[in-house]
Amino acid sequence: MSAYEVYKKDDWQCIIGHAGFIKTVEDLYGAMASAAPNVKFGLAFVEASGERLVRYEGNDNELTEAAKKNALGIAAGHTFIILFTGAFPINVVNAVRSVPEVSEIFCATANRVQVVMVSTDLGKAVIGVVDGQTCIGVEDEEHIKQRREMLKKFGYKP
């Protein structure tokens, strides 16, 4: 078993998932572009057969280059990664999930992420992700108040 540390800047959002067709790249591009008009993103998809290349698209060069680097570092067939700014995961994850080729979403986060993988004689597989740090307690009334205020600030609660 091994873990790959996803390269991303602190203000970048990240979606990692599993999908099963070369058309995934174009369909994910369309989903991202349609879901949030101001989103900047780069995405990469690891082929599992044929030429076994990292296929990629994006509308931002830095994010696209980082997505390619991460996909090659993960190198597990049919895995995709989307790095983006200008939207939160909540704004785009349903559009990504609705792409017909997408079979799994491992994470949709701004946290530090490690991809946990296993290797066999056939290849590599993602078995999960570490999304952020370990929990250290339970919220109290002050934390609840802060959470609700943050949601109001972002426009998710009246």
Q: What is the dihedral of CA 125, 57, 84, 72, to 10 degrees?
A: 30
Instruction: State residue 155's pLDDT score.
Output: 82
Q: pTM for the complete prediction?
A: 0.91
Instruction: State residue 22's pLDDT score.
Output: 84
- Reduce the DSSP state of residue 83 to 3 states and report it: strand
Instruction: State residue 150's pLDDT score.
Output: 87
Question: Rounded mean pLDDT of the chain?
Answer: 95
Instruction: State residue 152's pLDDT score.
Output: 87
Return the H-helix or E-strand segment holding 109: strand 102-109
pLDDT, tens digit, for every residue of 105-118? 999 999 999 999 99
Q: Where are the domains of the chain?
A: 2-133
Taking the domain 2-133, which CATH number applies? 3.40.1520.10
Q: What is the dihedral of CA 94, 99, 101, 105, to 10 degrees?
A: -20
Which of 46, 42, 47 has its CA nearest to residue 57? Answer: 42
Low-confidence ranges of the chain (pLDDT < 70): none
Instruction: State residue 84's pLDDT score.
Output: 99
Measured in whole angstroms, the distance separating CA 45 from the mean position of its chain's CA atoms is 11
Number of other residues whose CB lies within 10 A of the CB of residue 95 = 16
Instruction: State residue 156's pLDDT score.
Output: 81
